Amino acid sequence: MSDAPLATRALRSLDLTDLTDTCTDQAIDALCKKALDPHGPVAAVCVWPQFVKRAQENLRGSLVRIATVVNFPAGGEDVSRVTDDTQEALSDGANEIDLVLPYEALRRGDVTVAAEMVEAVRDLVDQGRLFKVILETGELKDPALIEAASRLAIDAGADFIKTSTGKTPVSATPEAAEIMLKAIKTSGKPVGLKPSGGIRTVADAKIYLDLADRIMGSGWATPQTFRIGASSVYDALIAAIEGRAGTTATGTY
């Protein structure tokens, strides 16, 4: 059976990402050109805050949304700094904010600072914009802690919960995604899932789409409720859609 339908589904739910330390204006131009591929377009590009305006120039008039990151990647605990950064990113034209949860605070049992930050950013992300909370599940490790982080983010108003920054040794895993999906289902709230980091092949993307279909139902995973955060899977998805042999993944995310 052809992988093309699956690859098309994954491509249209892709947050095409460049969060490399060496990112340039030219890299953003190339990223945005990929985002507008006729087989897509992708759901969003995800870029550093300083490149939001550049992405906006490239994507003006398209349906591709612009996501950016705050409190990234360390997951610090300075709420006022993070709200300032969020306000600036929104003013620059970001449609989606991906916030790193203060996961170290959660690990030591300080739920208050984590909830306060999520709620403060939630208050700023309005008017049809999306708010994603990155749990950094590879650092939380403990399934009970991943579940607690998922519940905290959902209760505090996240539109999506996201596995990872892609900057730690362990990024997205099916085990973490399953815990997160079950937390979403239990909540009964219209919250989406974004596995991110380390998704490099069509088979990788299929794992997460299959999980979503199994737990949430076959019609649930659309770009409104499901995103894949990646850079390196793009070429493999395009190759599968075009019926070419598997393409070696390029990119770090």
Q: Which residues are catalytic?
A: 98, 162, 194
Can you tell me the distance from the alpha carbon of 162 to that of 135, in angstroms, rounded to the nearest whole number? 6
Q: DSSP 3-state helix, strand, coil percentages of the chain (rounded to 5)?
A: 45, 15, 40
64: its two tokens = 């591709």
DSSP letter for 59, please: H
Integer Cα distance of 163 and 182 in angstroms: 14
d(CA 211, CA 213): 5
From first CA to last CA, the distance across the chain in angstroms is: 28
Residue 21 gets which letter from DSSP?
T
- Decide if 15 contacts 46 (C-beta within 8 A): yes
CA-wise closest residue to 194 among 135, 152, 149: 135
Exposure on the CB side of residue 101, measured as CA atoms within 13 A: 36
Beta strands in 81-237 (DSSP E): 96-100, 130-134, 160-162, 192-194, 228-230
List, in order, residues 6 or more apart from 122 with CB less than 8 Å away.
131, 156, 157, 158
